[in-house]
Amino acid sequence: GENVEQHPSTLSVQEGDSAVIKCTYSDSASNYFPWYKQELGKRPQLIIDIRSNVGEKKDQRIAVTLNKTAKHFSLHITETQPEDSAVYFCAAPSGSARQLTFGSGTQLTVLP
């Protein structure tokens, strides 16, 4: 099955700085890579995703890049704000894409 590794497990940045979270996956057939954000006490929610036919996707202050050769993808958040503080999960499909395997999560803290 798919193995998704996520780093770092915790990340603290100053407000206004950028944050980068990286994930690697093992199944070369994977073609869909979402990122979920979970605020404290809330449910995970999709914030951005990318499919394997593109290398980068942006949505305002967040972007995701994908390197299929190296089998890794990254979440980039620019001009961080306190409301960006949350746990972020990457994910990749497995089991003929019937399952979605999540990384272990990154606790992002944006310091004022």
> Which is nearer to another protein, 60 or 96 (by Cβ)?
96
Burial class of residue 54 in the structure, from the number of CB atoms within 10 Å of its CB (0-12 exposed, 13-18 middle, 19+ buried): exposed
Residue from the set 25, 35, 73, 89 that interacts with another protein by CB under 8 A = 89
Phi and psi based region of residue 106 (left: phi greater than 0; alpha: psi -120 to 50; beta: remaining)? beta
> Which is nearer to another protein, 45 or 67 (by Cβ)?
45
Query: Where on the chain is the footprint of another protein (CB under 8 A)?
Result: 1, 6, 9, 31-32, 34, 36, 42-46, 49, 89, 93, 95-105
